[in-house]
Structure 1
């Protein structure tokens, strides 16, 4: 099953408070939730700047703002900078395991601490188990859950979708007290290497937003491609 893109029904939300930019309103374009979805169609939509949240495929569609720009890393040409090489060496002791799900207490408790300490000002606060499970579900049998361990201690989990041309970094949460490890950065570096090992071309990072610190960090990974005017092009922005 793969529908033609021309046959897809799309809807827009009413304007709502922007999650990223202060005093801004946002409008979201989303694919009909009744649309039958598979990995191929999902991948084609990702190539057009869409993202997944649970079972929903969406893209910002704001009338007066185009700050949210889809971003991806071409993994075969990625070159880590000095800080990223240090982060990679600092976490050389970590062990990564593929997990079938994240419904266990260890995973949820890690997520709970991460949201409580790192994102108390975000949309996912306060943390809620039902929202956690629906947001990070395996929607179309293409999601992988990678757990990062230091010996037997769980330090982080990366939720990753496998697309036809790359990996999509859906969400990463980690032990907030381990600041020295820079686990968020390490998870991105690890996913770049994993995409290479799988013979895929890209790591999709979601949206880059210049004036939002939580989203602007993505230009530290070079080269970075941005989806502008219906075309992917290498970013010319400063890191």
Structure 2
């Protein structure tokens, strides 16, 4: 099925498949390709409307009878670390950070493989080989970096991160599962808040928060969190305020969703990588 706007890009819908977050539900995604000279502008514009990047595709959940997935970002100016988050920062202060070009290495893949085998052995990426990993990292038409965290033992964590015009977007993160006490998943987000602050960028984009999914519960522990809900960014209320119940009227028809997407001004100059 294809739905298009008067101007490119064209939007497509995936076939329904089992939802990885909420048992008994089916997921469907609205997506468009990300390529050409306007790729960076499109990534900037659609990221502000709840889309996420995966290689050269931008996508957003568009399920037929559920609207539980909400795009989440942290307002850097409104963020204040909690006591436990300050302890996480202190516990990981020995790590050195290095931002590199999006180029996959054997060390990264080894850590990624260990992370998947221990934390997501039954997930959709569980069978990803080294070539698919390299494609995930390197096939990016926008400003991307691999942010690495090392100590005396070598690489311990990494994040594939996009640089947007209003923030940084954490596309995918992985870390050493042996260091459970270090709360590295939390630490990577905290350090990206600092990266954005130092760069003068207002937001850190985290992907989707799904109320009712234990996998996503950690995201609502950050102050300054905003959710893309009902067509606009809103400060997060109590987690219990967001109803994850399925209902056939929760999602607008695909054609209406596409018609409401704002596209970048084709006359605006693109940013160079």
Q: Which residue of the partner structure matches residue 114 of structure 1?
A: 115
* Deviation string, structure 1 residues 181-203 (Cα, Å, up to 9, x no partner): 11110000000000010010100
Higher mean alpha-carbon deviation, 204-213 vs 132-141, is at 132-141
* Deviation string, structure 1 residues 78-115 (Cα, Å, up to 9, x no partner): 01111111100000111011222442211110001000
Establish whether residue 72 from structure 1 lines up as the match of residue 73 from structure 2: yes
Q: Which residue of the partner structure matches residue 176 of structure 2?
A: 175
Q: CA deviation at 1:39?
A: 1.7
Map 1:17-166 to 2 at 5 A: 17-32=18-33, 37-166=38-167
Q: Which residue of the partner structure matches residue 236 of structure 2?
A: 235
Q: Could you tell me the TM-score, scaled by structure 1's length? A: 0.93
Q: Could you tell me the TM-score, scaled by structure 2's length? A: 0.82
Q: Flag the structure with more relative contact order, 1 or 2, with Cα contacts below 8 A and sequence separation at least 6.
A: 2
Structure with bigger gyration radius:
2
Q: Number of residue pairs matched?
A: 236
Q: CA deviation at 1:132?
A: 1.3
Q: 1:161 to 1:32 in 2, by over 3 A?
A: closer
Establish whether residue 221 from structure 1 lines up as the match of residue 222 from structure 2: yes
C-alpha distance in 1, partners of 2:136/2:218?
23
Establish whether residue 194 from structure 1 lines up as the match of residue 180 from structure 2: no
Higher mean alpha-carbon deviation, 27-36 vs 152-161, is at 27-36
C-alpha distance in 2, partners of 1:95/1:152?
12
Tell whether the 8 Å contact from 1:91 to 1:181 is kept in structure 2 after alignment.
yes
In structure 1, list runs of 5 or more residues that go unmatched: none
C-alpha distance in 2, partners of 1:213/1:113?
22
C-alpha distance in 1, partners of 2:204/2:95?
21
C-alpha distance in 1, partners of 2:43/2:101?
21
Q: 1:183 to 1:102 in 2, by over 3 A?
A: farther
* Deviation string, structure 1 residues 124-174 (Cα, Å, up to 9, x no partner): 112311221222335124111111011252111111100000000111111
Question: What SS does the corresponding residue of 1:11 show, helix, strand or coil?
Answer: strand
In structure 2, list runs of 5 or more residues that go unmatched: 241-273
Cα RMSD (Å): 1.9
Question: What SS does the corresponding residue of 2:66 show, helix, strand or coil?
Answer: coil
C-alpha distance in 2, partners of 1:5/1:149?
48
C-alpha distance in 2, partners of 1:220/1:170?
19
C-alpha distance in 1, partners of 2:211/2:179?
27
C-alpha distance in 2, partners of 1:68/1:16?
15
C-alpha distance in 1, partners of 2:179/2:72?
27
Q: CA deviation at 1:7?
A: 3.7
